[in-house]
Amino acid sequence: MLEDEAINLENAADWRSEKDGQYPDDERNTEAAEICSKLASELRVLGKTPEAKRFEAIENFIFREASQGEDDDALRVSERWNEYRGRIGFDHFPGSAKEYLDDLMRIACEVVPAAEYLVPRQP
């Protein structure tokens, strides 16, 4: 699951690199590509940390329903995650893979409030 997310980030980095070529005066694309690449690398070493386990639990909870034909929530979560990922370096600046996963989990819980029980409240 984290590998899929790392690949999504690498794809976002590639897309931002292409945009950098189209808009060479806008340094945000370069910075966004660097952030996405860094996050992808960090995700690959998270292993079975508590953050990774919580993310996998939420992802399983939401996307398990999609595999059973109830995919509205999964579609909305995917769309919001894609929007978030596409705005990294412009509107969103996660400083670490943990922060990135926390943001994705927050988005998932906004879309599917029933998933909140999988994410312990932060003090």
- Helix 97-111 and helix 28-44, axial crossing angle in degrees, nearest 10: 90
pTM listed for this prediction? 0.89
Tens-digit pLDDT profile for residues 19-42 = 988 999 999 999 999 999 999 999
pLDDT in tens, 5-16: 999 999 999 999
Place of tokens 């990774």: 52
Phi, psi of 68 (to 5 degrees): -105, 15
Angle at 110 between CA 10 and CA 123, to 5 degrees: 95
Residues 60-89: tens digit of each pLDDT: 988 876 555 557 889 999 999 999 999 999
Q: Look at residue 5 in the predicted model and tell me its pLDDT.
A: 95
Residue 123 is predicted with a pLDDT of 47
